[in-house]
Amino acid sequence: MINATKLHQELVEAGIPIDGVVATEPPRIDFRPEVTEAQQAVALAILAAHVPEDYQDKREAAYVAQGVTVEAMIAALWERVVEDRPEASESLQAIRENIKKQFPENST
């Protein structure tokens, strides 16, 4: 859940013409009629900084960035089980463990 008061203050300080902010799911910004598209874009960027990602989203992005894909895992498992070559699976597991430490289950 976002801090609607803080978000409202940041939008006003940025000069965005708003009537208010509603902390619904998803959050809503009530713009005044005179708001421009550029101001709306700035407001949405400010809003995005207030919406927390959960640990799973962060982990998934980190896995992809480090090459831990389903295809890579399948290949590593094949090499380990069929070809008796554990290097790739051990490397992927080390990456996974590091990412899990970076983004534990209780983080947002």
Pair (37, 61) in one structural domain? no
C-alpha 99 chain-centroid distance: 14
Domain interval for residue 25:
4-48
Number of domains in the chain: 2
Tell me: pLDDT of 32 over 60.
yes
Pair (67, 36) in one structural domain? no
The reported pTM is: 0.51
107 assigned to some structural domain: no
Looking at every residue in the chain, the average pLDDT score rounds to 89
* Local structure of residue 36 (DSSP, 8 states): -
Pair (27, 64) in one structural domain? no
84 assigned to some structural domain: yes
Asked if the peptide bond before residue 17 counts as cis, ω within 30 degrees of 0, the response is no
Cβ contacts of residue 26 below 8 Å, gap of 6+? 51
Pair (37, 60) in one structural domain? no
Pair (89, 59) in one structural domain? yes
Pair (69, 92) in one structural domain? yes
At residue 84, the 3 state secondary structure works out as coil
80 assigned to some structural domain: yes
Pair (44, 72) in one structural domain? no
Residue pLDDT, tens place only, 65-88 = 888 889 999 999 999 999 999 999
Residue pLDDT, tens place only, 35-44 = 999 999 999 8
